[in-house]
Amino acid sequence: MKKEEIELIKDGKRLDGRGFEELRPIKIEVGVLKRADGSCYFELGDNKVIAAVYGPREMHPRHFQDAKMAVIKYRYNMAPFSVDDRKRPGPDRRSVEISKVSREALDPVIIKEYYPKTAIDVYVEVLQSDAGTRTAGINAASVALAAAGIPMKDLVSSVAVGKINGEVVLDLNAVEDNYGEGDMPVAMVARTNTITMLQMDGRFSQEEFERGLKLAATACSKIYELQRTALLERYSESIGEGEA
């Protein structure tokens, strides 16, 4: 179906009032689930996601074990009530693809060699969606992995950039995603500028692509600081409690 053109920019601002290089508000809470080894609630504008990490634990079935390292499993799931039109429950092509790319986005930072023959399970549940759920899920999962005490080289941060009415903008919302000309989700280790996921939907010129990547890198650095602060706040609290 061909998308109709609609006006997504008015007087130099986007329809939700943001500038071109502005992120939606972010809220991060660590340790929200008591049964998980690590968990994180992540809000990105109207997206609300929860990540839960279990493990390292023995891998079943055993033929999926890797004798040399842990195996990372990642399941992205969108709740039926998370979108306007009820989503049919259960996995579909989209969620299988998102689970795969998200796992690959996090895999390079996890020191898997410490836990041979085990599985580390990452579950991401989308409770409310407004475009950018895979990026919110990766941000949440990264924090939840750290909260679970999984040895990692660094955190991974993620954001999408896109193109609306010919302009490259940061962090598309659902209307912009639906009616815009392009969407490019990126995940990276912000401190080293190492890209661990890059997808593209639509068309970007080389110049637009480079500009988008720069916007994403700057935003990932901001998200990284928020992730780090959320972890520090959570764990300085528990150290404080222990001292009492």
List residues binding ligand UDP (CB under 6 A): 83, 87, 94, 129-134, 174, 177, 183
Nearest to 163 by CA among 207, 210, 202: 202
Of 24 and 134, the one with the shorter C-beta distance to ligand UDP is 134
In degrees, to the nearest 5, what angle opens at C-alpha 94 toward C-alphas 91 and 95? 45
Tokens of 65: 């074990």
Which helix or strand (DSSP H or E) is residue 223 part of? helix 206-243
User: What is the closest distance, in whole angstroms, from the C-beta atom of residue 176 to ligand UDP in the complex?
Assistant: 10
Look at strands 13-14 and 9-10 and give their pairing.
antiparallel
Sign of torsion, CA 160 141 193 19?
positive
User: What is the closest distance, in whole angstroms, from the C-beta atom of residue 174 to ligand UDP in the complex?
Assistant: 4
Of 87 and 112, the one with the shorter C-beta distance to ligand UDP is 87
User: What is the closest distance, in whole angstroms, from the C-beta atom of residue 69 to ligand UDP in the complex?
Assistant: 28
Of 66 and 201, the one with the shorter C-beta distance to ligand UDP is 201
User: What is the closest distance, in whole angstroms, from the C-beta atom of residue 177 to ligand UDP in the complex?
Assistant: 5
Distances (CA, A) of 5 to 2, 23, 243: 9, 23, 60
